[in-house]
Structure 1
Amino acid sequence: MTSPDGLSVRDVAARLGVPSATLRTWERRYGLAPSSRSAGGHRRYSEADVGRLGVVARLVADGVPVHSAVAAIQSDPDVTPAGVGRAAEHISGDLVSVLLAAAARRDGVTVRRHVDRVLAQRGVVRAWEEVLVPLLQSVGERWRDPSFGIAGEHLTSEMISTSLRLATVRASRHLGDADPSRVLLANAEEEQHALPLTALEAALAEDGIGCRAFGARVPSHALADEMRGASPDAVFLWASMRRPDLDVLDTLAGVSRQWSVLILLGGPGWGKNPELPDLGAVRVERTTDLGDAVARIREATRPR
Structure 2
Amino acid sequence: MPLRGDVPEPSLPVAAVARRLGVAPSTLRTWDRRYGLGPRGHTTGRHRRYGPEDVARLELMQRALLRGASPAEAADYALKAHAQPGKPAPQPVVVPDESALARGLGRAALAMDTPSVQELLNEAIATDGVIACWDRVVRPVLTAVAGRWAHSGACVEVEHLLNECVLAAMIAATPLLGHARNPRPVLLSCAPEERHSLPLYVLRAALARREIGTQMLGAALPADALAAAVRRTAPAAVVLWAQLPRHGDPAVFERVPRSRQRIRMFSCGPGWVTAQLPDQVRRLDALADAVDQIEAVVVGART
**TM-score, normalised relative to structure 2:** 0.63
Look up the equivalent residue of 1:277 and give its one-letter code. P
The match for 1:247 is: 251
> Distance in 2 between the 1:111 and 1:265 partners?
31
Asked if 1:284 corresponds to 2:281, the answer is yes
The match for 2:230 is: 227
**Can you list the C-alpha shifts for 1:28-84, whole angstroms capped at 9, x where unaligned?**
xx9xxxxxxxxxxxxxxxxxxxxxxxxxxxxxxxxx9999xxxxxxxxxxxxxxxxx
> Distance in 1 between the 2:294 and 2:253 partners?
18
Asked if 1:236 corresponds to 2:233, the answer is no
The match for 2:297 is: 300
1:138 Cα deviation after fit = 1.4
Asked if 1:191 corresponds to 2:194, the answer is yes
Indicate how the Cα distance of structure 1 residues 240 and 268 shifts in structure 2: closer, same or farther if over 3 A, else same: same
1:95 Cα deviation after fit = 2.2
1:176 Cα deviation after fit = 2.6
- Superposition pairs of residues 5-154 of structure 1, within 5 angstroms: 92-144=98-150, 149-154=155-160
SS at match of 2:200: helix
Indicate how the Cα distance of structure 1 residues 260 and 147 shifts in structure 2: closer, same or farther if over 3 A, else same: closer
1:104 Cα deviation after fit = 1.0
**TM-score, normalised relative to structure 1:** 0.63
Unaligned runs of 5+ in 1: 1-29, 31-63, 68-89
Indicate how the Cα distance of structure 1 residues 271 and 190 shifts in structure 2: closer, same or farther if over 3 A, else same: same
Higher alpha-carbon Rg: 2
Asked if 1:261 corresponds to 2:263, the answer is yes
Indicate how the Cα distance of structure 1 residues 230 and 146 shifts in structure 2: closer, same or farther if over 3 A, else same: same
SS at match of 1:92: coil
Unaligned runs of 5+ in 2: 1-14, 16-21, 26-95
The match for 2:185 is: 182
> Distance in 2 between the 1:182 and 1:149 partners?
38
Asked if 1:165 corresponds to 2:171, the answer is yes
**Percent sequence identity over matched residues?**
35
1:91 Cα deviation after fit = 6.9
1:230 Cα deviation after fit = 1.5
The match for 1:59 is: none
Indicate how the Cα distance of structure 1 residues 188 and 65 shifts in structure 2: closer, same or farther if over 3 A, else same: farther
